[in-house]
Amino acid sequence: MMLSAVVGSATALASTTPSDTTHYDKPRKTRLTLGGYGEAVASRMFYSNNYKRYTDATLYKNAPGFGQVDLPHVVFYVGYDFGKGWSLGSEIEFEHGGTESAIEIEEEETGEYESEIERGGEVALEQFWLQKSFSPALNIRAGHIIVPVGATNYSHMPTEFFTVYRPEGENTILPCTWHETGVSLWGRTQDWRYEAMFIAGLDADRFNNKNWIHGGSGSPYEFKMATAYAGAVRVDNYSVKGLRMSLSGYLGNSANNTLNATGKYEGLHGTVAIGAFDFLYDDHNLIARGNIDYGHLSNSLEITNANKASRKDSPSPKNSVAESAIAMGIEAGYDIMAHINACHRRGQRLYLFGRYDYYDSMFKTVSSMADEKEWGRQKITLGFNYYPIKQIVIKGEWSNRMFDKAYNNEPTLSLGVAYYGMFHL
């Protein structure tokens, strides 16, 4: 049996999406692909984690901080090429080292302990699809697939962003990694790549003030409702050397896509519309990335009122949902080891980077809804990414999450280690 490690640098990965068989688009001598990625993080927060830190900010201005360790994502991938253009892909993801159920302290006035279930089951099946490839320009995929709306959903491997955790803006307002059941048509020709998909819609019962539609792709049940459907599209251009520019979008209804929707959302559409632009530049030892995402939700007031009126044992967050949300981010890093010949020959890299994020999950609300300014945030991050080899990265950063002047900023130090690799057997 032949074993060959297939791991791309940021440049190589830029030409494809991790949800593709990118590493598998070209003919190969082997059929089985194993791989995955994982992250381990330790952080020290220099701010209070008391649930009242937003409602009574002045009381916690000089409160002691806290530390935490985390396994944000550990993913195992299995793919197989059946031949004659047929292939499969599957990913099993463990988030935060657990089963996607947790107890949290609600950051509202009560400070109650809440049991949160993002998806039914013990682990998350992030991908499971079958694909028929007719040519590099025409592929059909059906099953549970990644929705590549936004920069992070398209490039979510830990080697594809500088920060210790995934970029905070998109990871807050959008599902991330966003995966749905449906069918997609995708391909690449010359300097263009496209993807269009038909998928199950989001669930308005899971929307909230802190994360907008983030929770809408999950289900607390053993199944996901699919009364409403949605479409997503992405187009990437590679005409300029070292540069990828991308547009992506999503459109679908959400109000009747939950259990027992009759009565609660009767007559509502809850249309979610998202538009996003992102780019990647990787050349001359410099990597720069950026994104802007804007989303709109119709019937936000009616959905808010219906969710707040839900039964106490309902899994709905039962709080306000904005009419619009926004996320913008830009980062750049330079490889200072590129000028050290011995390190460069061994493939070692050391990027010093900076990043800026602005995001607001309550960016625009209807006039009768309270303006919750604590959800409008900016974040500055400075740090490093050290690659001893291509497959492994060690990350360190200082960041400061900044709020409206009525609230306390949240500085943090983090250190992480991550890997990403695909192996053809």
C-alpha to C-alpha distance for 58 and 4, rounded to whole angstroms: 57
Give me the amino acid identity at 99: T
| Residue 274 belongs to domain with CATH number | 2.40.160.10
User: 3 near 33, Cβ under 8 Å?
Assistant: no
Residue 84 zone, left/alpha/beta (φ > 0; ψ -120 to 50; rest): left
Distance CA 394, CA 159 (A): 10
Q: What is the distance between the alpha carbons of residues 58 and 77, in angstroms, rounded to a whole number?
A: 47
Evaluated on CA atoms 207, 213, 214, 220, the torsion sign reads positive
- By the 8 A CB rule, do 417 and 397 touch? no
335 touches 393 (CB < 8 A): no
Q: How many residues does the chain have?
A: 425
* Look-up of token digits 């929707």: 261
Residue-level pLDDT, tens digit, the chain, 425 residues = 333 333 333 333 333 343 444 433 444 567 999 999 999 999 999 998 888 888 888 888 888 999 999 999 999 999 999 999 999 999 999 887 766 565 555 555 555 556 665 654 357 788 999 999 999 999 999 999 999 999 999 999 999 999 999 999 999 999 998 999 999 999 999 999 999 999 999 999 999 999 999 999 988 777 888 889 999 999 999 999 999 999 999 999 999 888 776 778 888 999 999 999 999 999 999 999 999 999 999 999 999 998 888 887 777 888 899 999 999 999 999 999 999 988 888 889 999 999 999 999 999 999 888 888 889 999 999 999 999 999 999 999 999 999 988 899 999 999 999 999 998 88
Question: Token match 């607390």: residue?
Answer: 220
pLDDT at 257: 86
Nearest CA to 158 among 43, 68, 72, 245?
72
Q: Which of 38, 398, 328, 306 is nearest to 173 (CA)?
A: 328
Pairing of strands 192-200, 229-237: antiparallel
Q: How many Cβ atoms are within 10 Å of 366's Cβ, its own excluded?
A: 13
Q: Which helix (H) or strand (E) holds 308?
A: helix 300-308
Sign of CA dihedral 41, 116, 276, 180: positive
Q: Give residue 109's Cα distance to chain centre.
A: 29
CA distance 266 to 204: 13
Q: How far apart are CA 161 and CA 14, in angstroms?
A: 11
Q: Cβ contacts of residue 291 below 8 Å, gap of 6+? A: 150, 151, 152, 167, 169, 170, 276, 277, 278, 279, 327, 328, 329, 330
C-beta of residue 298 within 8 angstroms of C-beta of residue 270: yes
> Quick one: pLDDT at residue 17?
40
In this structure, the strands spanning 324-335 and 73-83 are: unpaired
> What distance in Å separates the CA atoms of residue 81 and residue 67, rounded to the nearest whole number?
45
Please give the residue range of the domain that contains residue 40.
4-424
Instruction: Give the pLDDT confidence score for residue 100 in this predicted structure.
Output: 58
* pLDDT value for 225: 85
Task: Please say whether the beta carbons of 324 and 364 come within 8 A.
Answer: yes
Query: What local confidence, expressed as pLDDT, does residue 371 receive?
Result: 80
DSSP string of 137-201, one letter each residue: TEEEEEEEEE---SHHHHS-SGGG-SSSSSPHHHHHHS-TT-EEEEEEEEEEETTEEEEEEEEE-
Omega before residue 177 within 30° of 0, cis: yes
Contacts of 341 (CB under 8 A, 6+ apart): none
In this structure, what token pair is assigned to residue 339? 């000028």
* Token pair listed for 160: 């594809």
Residue 24 is predicted with a pLDDT of 36
Domain tally, the chain: 1
